[in-house]
Amino acid sequence: MSRYEFVSAAKLPTRFGEFTIHGFVDVTTNQEHVALTFGKWQREDTVPIRIHSECLTGDSLFSTRCDCGFQLEKALQNITENKVGVLLYLRQEGRGIGLLNKIRAYALQDTGMDTVEANEHLGFDADLREYDICQFMLGHLGVQNVSLMTNNPKKIAALTEMGINVVSRKPIDHGMTADNKGYLKTKTEKLGHEFDPHLFK
């Protein structure tokens, strides 16, 4: 029996365009995840996708401490402008440590720690996210070849290991603010994210 299940799909009108939202569940943890799809494709087509981990503060509360909300909006814009694409929205807040622990990490960052130091001070690895469900979600959606919108090489490696063909990477440098410039610099230097170095000058 598969660890993952598809639950249902429905239309989802948004200010970017009309998507279809697909619900999935990890039956071992009861964690729920969704995919937004736009347009149609054949299995052999290369489909633009974004893997986006939940960030309540950035995605819903408009925080400028991170670039998550900005990247989410940019990804949805890119998908509708291309007239095709998929956004996988994974419920793993705070790089996997959860919302309340993320707030604790923010408090430590307010004292001078960076995002990696704060997570490690709380007893967590710098990044606890997992991408295993992506294989099931993309398989259900009939996607095998992808153009991945990301600055994170770990996502490319994870998909490749699953047998997903990452045809190309599209940078998603978007949303630098005075509040998150240090955060993005830490992601580049300590987590291997690939941002344009000119952004930090």
The answer to whether 28 is a known ligand-binding residue is no
The answer to whether 71 is a known ligand-binding residue is yes
The answer to whether 93 is a known ligand-binding residue is yes
The answer to whether 102 is a known ligand-binding residue is no
The answer to whether 50 is a known ligand-binding residue is yes
21 by Cβ neighbours in 10 Å (0-12 / 13-18 / 19+) ranks as middle
**At residue 34, what are phi and psi to the nearest 5 degrees?**
-135, 160
Q: Is 130 helix (H, G, I), strand (E, B) or coil?
A: coil
The answer to whether 104 is a known ligand-binding residue is no
The answer to whether 66 is a known ligand-binding residue is yes
**At residue 83, what are phi and psi to the nearest 5 degrees?**
70, 10
The answer to whether 134 is a known ligand-binding residue is no
Alpha carbons 4 and 65: distance in angstroms, whole number: 33
CA distances from 31 to 25, 35, 57, 70 (A): 6, 14, 19, 25
Give the residue numbers marked as catalytic: 127, 129
Residue ranges for the binding site? 50-55, 66, 68, 71, 93-95, 115, 150, 155
Residue ranges for the binding site for Zn(2+)? 55, 66, 68
Residue ranges for the binding site for GTP? 50-54, 71, 93-95, 115, 150, 155
